[in-house]
Amino acid sequence: MSSRKSFGSHTMWGAALAVAALAGCGKGNAPSVGAADAAQKVYVAPGQYDEFYLFTSGGFSGQLGVYGLPSGRLLKVLPVFSQNPENAYGYSQETKPMLNTSYGFIPWDDSHHPELSMTNGVPDGRWIFINGNNTPRVARIDLKDFVTAEILEIPHSAGNHASPFVTENTEYSVAATRFSVPTPQADVPIASYKENFRGLLTFIKVDSATGHMKIAFQILMPGFNYDLSHSGKGPSHEWSFFTSYNSEEANTLLEVNASQKDKDYIAAVHWTVAEQCVKDGKAKQVPARYAHNIMDPVSHVATSTMETSTTFLDAKDCPGVVYYLPTPKSPHGVDVDPSGELIVAGGKLATVIPVHSFSRMIKAIQDKAFEGEVNGIPVLKYEATIAGEVKNPGLGPLHTEFDGQGNAYTSMFVSSEIVKWSLKDFTVLDRVPTYYSIGHLSIPGGDTRKPWGKYVVALNKITKDRYLPTGPELTQSAQLFDISGPKMQLLLDFPTIGEPHYAQALPASMITQAQLRTFDLATNADPYAALSEAATGVSRKGQSVHVKMTAIRSHFVPDNIEGVQVGDSVFFHITNLEQDWDVPHGFAITGINNSELLIMPGETRTIVWVPEKVGVFPFYCTDFCSALHQEMQGYVRVSPKGSSVALTANTPAKH
Ligand code: K7E
Ligand code: CUA
């Protein structure tokens, strides 16, 4: 223990940080293998597809990045928690409800952990989930069309960080509060933290047919900071694991005050026991207010519903639901190996990587090998659950992924490296530097039962000199390594958007086979759709003007509208009549205090414009859709308020 204490001293940390900083003088970090060899391994010839999709969290952009591997090419940025004027997500009437919350409309969040849906512990290519950290939410993106299909707010939570990790068959997606808060919220002194603040582990039931999410129960926990999670698999199928730090329950200067103890805890949650306790009436319904937003897959119109209650299960009322595993020191990541037996923690301030054994944990529970309890939650003895420790792994272990060949790969933030070690004897096998300060790392399927252990991607926190400089604000950075041989080999640097905390990857074929190319115009159920040019028109209801418009190469119908008045709310409902792949049309009008629209084939999208000036204002298609794209335009005449100019449009009847 004493060595751990001295490690925590400022001198040691100072030295470690100095080493990391030295690495930062960059340049000349010549790859150890031939550049030609590396280039060949990442070269995807023009017109060819990448082998894997890589989904990266957008971090403080709130979005989800989609990349190809091994090329590192950016394929798309999917809007999830943040407005995206490029395609009007969060601006168009149909999508605005997706960003509704109990705090009102929120145009941004901080997203950390993409998590693919799984069947039998293997990604199934159906959905990807991602957490909203700041205003606690979980989103589900449908991988048929790469559209954000659902966002569920998590009530009574604060800092939804240990989220949205799923269980083996996507029975649940979890959401643990990083910041303990008064639960339910209350006006209390911050100094009453120990008495009034609680942690909360939320289990969201995912409907296996539709993917729809619903909060099943929320487990009330001691007021620690719950940081990360992974669910069990195989023998540990019925369990989810959550790291916690700040078992000191400090409420100020956590840097120091939450780093006092040698060990914090992993909370092992037996979720089938929680289900039973709920059934047995040991939980209680409590009032709550949280938004549940769904994009209807047929109408493509989102709705937001405010939910009013949730189910609280106090861990102390449900014996056997939670056990604490002491874990050094201020652990961050918790990762379960492909067999489901080994539970690896990344103790940010630990000198070793502790590896717990699931079977030993079960035995320790049966033997009641407890060293104490916290609020009625038994604390197991470290010696009773530990399978071993990886010695001298490096500094600042954070996250671990697996290659399916018996090896683990742990990211080392402080010493800025990936360390490969053996799951058999916990010896270090290889290490490579990362540029710089790696956070998460990602192997395709690397947290599942069957990893595709060909590559590891380092998701780095600091970019510094790796690319042409772009002023004080730099892009974020990922690095691709080949792990097919005994030694890791750096192949490629590629920039990413936002801060790429975590990423997940899977073979591209699992997604491409089910991809949608257009939305079916015949089933378009948007209430304002015009399915043909004959169905277009204009109408007025008080101050609201509704324009039902169509777009097809290369014209809008109608393209001339008169009788709009200053201060009207003009709703442009535009239906794209195309049924070919990759023929969107755009729409923008001079001075619109909103975004453009980008309308996919078969879809209807609506944008609101409130003209403030008299005049004749052009609108145009923003997406170069044909040789006569420049001709794809129209005019709206705006008259003074109360004008007698009749509302007209040159719809087919009027041509
Ligand atoms: Cu380690 Cu938010 Cu998963 Cu970043 S977290 S690194
Ligand atoms: Cu339609 Cu350009």
Residues of the chain with pLDDT below 50 are 1-31, 655
Number of residues that this document lists for the chain: 655
Residue 498 has what pLDDT?
Answer: 86
Residues 6+ apart with CB under 8 A from 7: 349, 351
Q: How far apart are CA 117 and CA 125, in angstroms?
A: 7
Ligand closest to CA 460: 1
Residue 598 CB–ligand 2 contact under 6 Å: no
Torsion of CA 514, 516, 522, 527, to 10 degrees: 110
Provide the edge-to-edge strand list for the sheet that holds 476-482. 438-442, 455-460, 476-482, 489-496
Which token pair is 405?
Answer: 């060949």
What DSSP assignment string belongs to 338-378? TTS-EEEEEETT-SSEEEEEHHHHHHHHHTT-EEEEETTEE
CB 632 within 8 A of CB 585: yes
Residue 431 CB–ligand 1 contact under 6 Å: no
Position in ligand 1 atom list of the atom nearest CA 228: 3
Report the 10 Å Cβ neighbour count for 25: 10
Residue 30 has what pLDDT?
Answer: 46
Residue 182 CB–ligand 1 contact under 6 Å: no
116, 112, 170: which is closest to 444 by C-alpha?
116
Residue 112 CB–ligand 1 contact under 6 Å: yes
**Residue found under tokens 């056990």:** 323
Which token pair is 183?
Answer: 């639960």
The predicted-structure confidence for 41-81, as pLDDT tens digits, reads as follows 999 999 999 999 999 999 999 999 999 999 999 999 999 99
Residue 634 CB–ligand 1 contact under 6 Å: no
Residues 6+ apart with CB under 8 A from 195: none
Position in ligand 1 atom list of the atom nearest CA 332: 1
Residue 624 CB–ligand 2 contact under 6 Å: yes
- Distance (Å) from CA 628 to ligand 2 centroid: 8
Residue 526 has what pLDDT?
Answer: 95
Residue 173 has what pLDDT?
Answer: 98
- Distance (Å) from CA 536 to ligand 2 centroid: 18
Position in ligand 1 atom list of the atom nearest CA 440: 6
CB 160 within 8 A of CB 154: yes
Provide the edge-to-edge strand list for the sheet that holds 353-357. 331-336, 342-347, 353-357, 386-390
Residue 424 has what pLDDT?
Answer: 98
Residue 33 has what pLDDT?
Answer: 61
